[in-house]
Amino acid sequence: MTQTARVTVNAAADLGPLDRIWASLGYDEINWTYTPQGSRTLRTIGAFAETPYHVRPHNIFTSGTGLGLPHWGSGNVYHEDADGTPYYDFTIADLTYDAIVNAGHHPLVELGFTPLALVPEYAKTDFAYEGSPSLYSEYEAGWWSYPPKDFGKFAGLVAALVEHVLDRYGSDEVEHWLWELWNEPDITYWRGTPEQYHDLYEQTAKAIRAVYPAAKVGGPAVTGGGDAFLRDFLQACADRDLPVDFVSFHTKGAHFTPWRTYGPIGSPAPVQQSPLTAKMLREIHTALTVIDEFPQYAGKPVIVDECDASVPAHWGIYDNANFAYRNTEYYPVFQAQLMKQILELNERHTAKVREATTWSFSMEGERYFEGTRSFVTASGIEKPLMNAYRAFARLGDRRLSAVGIDLPDEIDAIASREGSSISVLVWRHSDDQYAADGATIPVDLELEGLEPGRWTVEHFRIDRDHSNSHTIWQALGSPQDPTPEQLAAITARQGLERLCDDTPIDVDPGYLLTLELPLPSLSLVVLTKLG
């Protein structure tokens, strides 16, 4: 006989503000920001988001035609005339930031990478490259990752962008923007030295502040293994008295081995693997420990602006079948338990994560449920992942005590309050996407400290049978050219769905609801006082 677990929420035990650490997203392909599907995706999130998201695309300074490709893009801002005098083209920048701002979000401007005109001459002999019809040129293959040959011109480019967006959007909007130099300079995104990065950061920060003194600048956006680079960066900023308004780094939950496979379509994974929460938390803990060493920066916001279950974003189930979790109910539940554990990790450090960015957006030209790390699939169909963020949006602004009794390790919860509403997320998760089975575990959700009177209970669910466009698509035969009727059937089930009808209850003074949780699953229970 299965023993019933219990989660007790005390509506009178206020634990303080509930930080909206999930409210940010990012992606490589800047030119897909303003496609019809990209713009709709941003607007969809903006419509349910309880707070504006920060949106962080790569490649604003990369040269190119603006053609969107997987893991590539180009803002194409910087150019020089025949005499070497810089001039700027903000066409793509305007399309990008218009789409973000008009959807109700704020850009995190990642200032990278090196424009073609600023590629140093030594890069052209240093970088080994052999031309191929499937590649563009040496520039796309790697020249963009070298330090610009003229830091002054790069600083001028930065200043010109800041001046342009202030003129276009106004300071009331731009005061919410974040300015970050480069991406992952501890690996091959930066083919220079740490000292060169420090020098470029100094010039960049000064250029930004000269135009807009209130701007928030930061970095260094290192990988999960970049702790030495992070420490050296913070020490250099302390030694030079440079502004650091936020500190950023990344973490990834899995690098599947082999990373990519070549075989018949539909081949199973050679080794079953899953994202690991423990790896991500270990990397976050280590980076927060480094930041804690610097009291002048430990109180600044920490942004994990790539906080991802696995890499890379643009590969899917046809590359490695382990990426299947990105299509399923597993991923939204993974995100819920990850956010809870990051909030708990914050309690152990002076430095605290304020944003944990999902590197997920929208991919153009893919098959239905390709398995890329994205909120939507072909035809803009929303994947189950979107519903995790809908559920997060229903959480209140104050965190409440939620205590588990006889809870298995795979069950956890987070509770909140806002005004006359109590919202509780309860989930069942295992760091094994292949562990799903048909069995359920009963969990008694007990709420104490409620004001006596009439309340309404809403119960939403994410699992295999609810809030899950993927299983509907599968039930229809997994069509790769769905009919209008099939598309309508899929989209009708893509949102956050109720497990049951709303229920009016009389509270005096508590309430008990038993949840039956399959693996994986997530329940959102919202109680609202009437009258």
> Hey, what amino acid is at 182?
W
The per-residue DSSP string of 60-72 comes to: SS--S----BTTB
> Hey, what amino acid is at 122?
Y
Ramachandran quadrant class, 374 (left: phi over 0; alpha: psi -120 to 50; beta: rest): beta
Q: Which helix (H) or strand (E) covers residue 488, if one does?
A: helix 484-491
Cα separation of 137 and 130, whole Å?
A: 9
Beta bridge partners of 10: 401, 448
Contact 71, 58 (CB under 8 A): no
Contact 449, 441 (CB under 8 A): no
Catalytic residue among 29, 110, 184, 370: 184
Tokens 């996407």: give the residue.
433
Cα separation of 310 and 315, whole Å?
A: 10
Both tokens assigned to 122:
């030594």
Q: Which helix (H) or strand (E) covers residue 168, if one does?
A: helix 151-169
Tokens 């979107």: give the residue.
386
First-to-last CA distance in the chain? 42
Cα separation of 23 and 488, whole Å?
A: 29
Cα separation of 37 and 56, whole Å?
A: 17
Clarify whether 184 is annotated catalytic: yes
SS3 295: helix
114 to each of 65, 78, 228, 438, how far by Cα in Å?
15, 9, 24, 52
The per-residue DSSP string of 299-324 comes to: TSEEEEEEEESSS-TT--TTT-GGGG
- How far is C-alpha 183 from the geometric centre of its chain's CA atoms? 15
> Hey, what amino acid is at 61?
F
Catalytic residues: 184
